[in-house]
Amino acid sequence: MAKTILVVDDDPDIIYTIKKSFENLDTNYKILGVESGKKCLKLLKNNKIPDLILLDIMMPELSGWDVAAELKKNPKWKDIPVIFLTAKTDSFSKTLGNIVVDEYITKPFEFMELKECIDRLLCS
């Protein structure tokens, strides 16, 4: 059965690129996309629980940091693997990000590096 990945990014081009890249590889991943942290939390509250979340940090209204904190507070969501996929390249964000979530990948990213990271988290 296909694993579901939720891409949370305010840039629709990122969501589209990730979705198309996975479709072209014919992998066992189903990609869902939402353009805000609020929409992510709404999906989760409606029991649409993905197998993994790709989460941008810099988003309006609710940042990736805020979403990650909400995920950790909820017993139903706290074990979902999370990868920050972000343009924040400063060492403080990277260090903190690696403590808060499972992986930290900076934009621009190589798709195969992202896929290998996802495979490692979901197939281990």
The per-residue pLDDT for range 12-39, each reduced to its tens digit, is 999 999 999 999 987 789 999 999 999 9
Q: What is the pLDDT of residue 27?
A: 76
End-to-end CA distance of the chain: 16
What are the structural domain ranges in the chain?
Answer: 3-123
Q: Give the C-alpha separation, 71 to 118, whole Å.
A: 18
The tokens describing 110, both together, are: 């190589």
Superfamily name with CATH number, domain 3-123: Response regulator (3.40.50.2300)
What is the reported pTM? 0.95
Q: Give the C-alpha separation, 55 to 52, whole Å.
A: 10
Q: What is the pLDDT of residue 25?
A: 87
